[in-house]
Amino acid sequence: MQPETFRIEDLQVEGRLVPAYLIAPSPLQTRGRRLAWPEDFGWTKRRRSPTSDLWRPLKEADNEVGMRILLFSGKGGVGKTSIAAATGLQLSCLGHRTLVMSVDPAHSLADAFDLETGLFQDRTSDPYPIDDRLSIQEVNIQKEIKRHWREISTYVVSVLRTTGISDVEAEELAILPGMEELSAMMYVNQFRREQRYEVIVLDCAPTAESMRFVSMPTTLEWYMKHVFPFQRGLLKAVRPVANRISPVELPPDSYFANIQDLFGRLEGIAELLEDAKTTSVRLVTNPEKMVLRETQRAFVYFSLHGLTVDGIIVNRVLPPAITDAWFEEWRASQARIQREIEEYFAPVAVKCVPLFIHEVLGRERLQELASVLYAEKEDPAAVTRTETPYTFEKRNTHYEVCLRLPFATKGEVGLFKKGDELVVEIGALRRHVGLPTSMASLTPTRATLQNRMLTVEMKEV
C-alpha cells in the first residue's frame, strides 16, 4: 500500500516549523508505532474532494468539532443500552461514522441489536459493523488482558498461585478493578488518533462504575507522577536481595514497563473527557423517586469531575393512551417526579421517552425509539452546552459552590440548605444543588453575586 500524502500549510508549532508536505502511512498501519500526525498538532481534516484531503488548523470559530464522545450513564436497568443504541442509529442515519461501545461488564449491546450470538460470545470484542457507518463494540476483558495487560496479569496470577488456589481461579481473580474501564479508554484514545470514527457513544456501567471510569485517568496520572518512579526505582534496587528471602517474588521490571506503556496509551484522555466540545454526558433515568435520587447524585459527581451534562432522558413514562384506573397512582407519581426533574436539572434539557407496548429489541424497534427521542434531522452529536451548571472548589478555610445565574439580580436570590442539598431561590423558581459527601455536613455562611455568578461559601459551624 502506498503511503498517503497530506497537504498541509507551513505553520510554527511550539517553536518548530511544520513542513509543507507530510508523508506517512495511513493510520491503520501505525499500530504499535508513534508517528507525528497532523491531529497531534491540534489540526483537523476537512474533505474537499474525493481524492484530496486538506489539513488545516482547527480554529475556535469553526462550526465543526473533532471526534465527539457521548457518555450515557444512569442507574442499572433504566434503559441506557437501548437509548445509546438508538442514538447510534440516529447518528449513522445522519452520515456520521459512529461506534457504540459498551463499558458495562454485563454487556447487552449485541442483545439490543438482536444479533444471533451465544450467551457468552466474542464477535463484538472488536468493532462489529451493523451497517456502513455504524459499528458496536463490547470490551472483552479476557482478550484485553492478552492484548494489553499480559505482564501485570501474569505477575498477579503467580502471586495468587502461592496461596494454593487453582489456575482457573487465579486467572479470574487476576482481573483487577478498572481493567475494563481503562481498556475502553485506550480504545477511545486510539480511535481518536486514527480518526476512525466521528462519534463514539459510550454505554456505561451503572452510576458507581461510571464514576470510576471518569476519575481513573486523574488517579492514574497522580500515581505515575508521584509513586511510580519511586516504586520502580526502589524495587529495582532491593529485588535481587528480597527475592531470596521473600515467599513471593517482587514484580519484575517488565511489570512496570507494562504499566508505563498503558499510561502512554491513555495520554490525553483526561483532557478529552473534560473538554465540553468533545465529551457530553447524557443521564438516563426513570420517573421514580429512587432512580431520580441516584441520577441527582450522578449529576453532582460528573460536575465535580469537570464533565458537562447536557441532557437528561426520562425513560418509560406512561403515555396518555394508558387510561386504566389501575395506573392512576403511577401516573400521579410520575407527574410529580417529572416536575422535580425539570426543577432540579434546569437549565439542562430534559427529554421524555414513553413506555413502549413491546420490548425495544432489534434494529427496527431501536429505530422507532430513535424517532421518538430525536426529531428527523436532529443531530445527537451537536454541541448544545459547554458550561457546567455549577462547580465546587476548596479554599484555604472553606469550600465554595459557584452557580451561573445569567438573569438574576441580588434582590431576587435567596438560598438555604435542606439535607444534603443547597436550594437557591430566584423569584418563584428553585434550583437544587446536590452536595458531594465532603460538603454535605457544611453550612452556607456567605453568598456573593458578581457578574451573574453566585458564589456560596460553605463552612463547619
The DSSP secondary structure of 390-448, one letter per residue, reads EEEEE-SS-EEEEEE-TT--GGGEEEEEETTEEEEEETTEEEEEEPPGGGTT-EEEEEE
Mean pLDDT of 173-187: 77
Q: How far apart are the first and last CA of the chain?
A: 70
pLDDT at 30 over 60: no
Considering only 4-13, 107-116, 336-345, which range has the smallest mean pLDDT?
4-13
Residues 16-28 have pLDDT tens digits of 333 333 333 333 3
Output the pLDDT for position 310. 93
Contact criterion met (CB below 8 Å) for 67 and 269: no
Grid cell for residue 37: 500526525
Output the pLDDT for position 410. 66
Upper half-sphere CA count for residue 385 (Cβ side, 13 Å): 20
Cα 3–9–13 angle (5° rounding)?
100
Considering only 101-105, 271-275, 411-415, 445-449, which range has the smallest mean pLDDT?
411-415
Considering only 253-267, 284-298, 308-322, 360-374, which range has the smallest mean pLDDT?
253-267
Mean pLDDT of 370-383: 95
Pairwise pLDDT comparison (301 vs 269), residue with the higher score = 269
Distance CA 244, CA 167 (A): 24
Output the pLDDT for position 130. 95
Upper half-sphere CA count for residue 415 (Cβ side, 13 Å): 26
pLDDT at 316 over 50: yes
117-124 contacts: CB < 8 A, separation 24 or more? none
Asked if the peptide bond before residue 347 counts as cis, ω within 30 degrees of 0, the response is yes
pLDDT at 150 over 70: yes
Residues 118-142 have pLDDT tens digits of 655 678 889 999 999 999 999 887 7
Output the pLDDT for position 49. 31
* Confidence grade of residue 283 (pLDDT, cut at 50, 70, 90): very high
User: What's the per-residue H, E or C state across 53-79?
Assistant: EEEEECCCCCCCCCCEEEEEECCCCCC
Element holding 254 (H helix, E strand):
helix 253-265
Considering only 89-103, 167-181, 295-309, 325-339, which range has the smallest mean pLDDT?
167-181
Beta strands at 134-138 and 199-203: parallel, antiparallel or unpaired: unpaired
What residue ranges in 286-379 does DSSP mark as E strands? 309-317, 350-354
Phi, psi of 394, rounded to the nearest 5 degrees: -110, 125
Q: Tell the residue number behind the cell numbers 474501564, with chain if given.
A: 181
pLDDT at 15 over 60: no
Pairwise pLDDT comparison (442 vs 14), residue with the higher score = 442
Distance CA 441, CA 406 (A): 28
Output the pLDDT for position 177. 66
pLDDT at 380 over 80: yes
Grid cell for residue 314: 426520562
Residues 89-103 have pLDDT tens digits of 999 999 999 999 998
Distance CA 430, CA 243 (A): 63
Max alpha carbon distance in the chain (Å)?
A: 78
- Compute the CA torsion angle 414, 416, 421, 425 (nearest 10 deg): -20
Residues 206-238 have pLDDT tens digits of 877 777 778 778 777 878 888 888 888 888 888
Output the pLDDT for position 16. 39
Q: How far is CA 264 from the centre of its chain?
A: 19
Q: What percent of the chain has pLDDT over 90?
A: 34
pLDDT at 42 over 70: no
Q: How many residues does the chain have?
A: 461
Positive or negative: CA dihedral 136, 141, 144, 146:
negative
Type of residue numbered 190: Q
Grid cell for residue 60: 475556535
User: Which residues share a beta bridge with 202?
Assistant: 71, 101
pLDDT at 117 over 70: no
* Confidence grade of residue 440 (pLDDT, cut at 50, 70, 90): confident
Grid cell for residue 230: 519511586
pLDDT at 167 over 80: no
Output the pLDDT for position 46. 35
Q: What percent of the chain has pLDDT over 70?
A: 79
Cα 214–215–221 angle (5° rounding)?
120
* Confidence grade of residue 54 (pLDDT, cut at 50, 70, 90): very low
